[in-house]
Amino acid sequence: MANIYRPITLSHTLKEIAQKEIGEAMLERVRTFRSLLSETPVDQLEVREYPAVLFRVSSNTWLEAVVRHLAKRAGRVKTELIGKMLAALDAAPEKVLFPKGAAH
> What is the predicted pLDDT for the residue at 11?
85
pTM score, two decimals? 0.65
User: CA 84, 85, 89: angle at the middle one, nearest 5?
Assistant: 120
Structure confidence at residue 21 (pLDDT): 82
Q: How far apart are CA 102 and CA 77, in angstroms?
A: 22
Looking at residue 3, what is its pLDDT? 47
Phi, psi angles (nearest 5°) of residue 65: -100, 130
> Residue 1: its pLDDT value, please?
46
Closest by CA to 79, choosing from 12, 36, 21, 8, is 21
Residues in the chain with pLDDT values less than 70: 1-8, 43-45, 101-104
Residue 74, pLDDT score: 76
Strand partners, 53: 67
CA max distance for the chain: 54
pLDDT of residue 101: 66
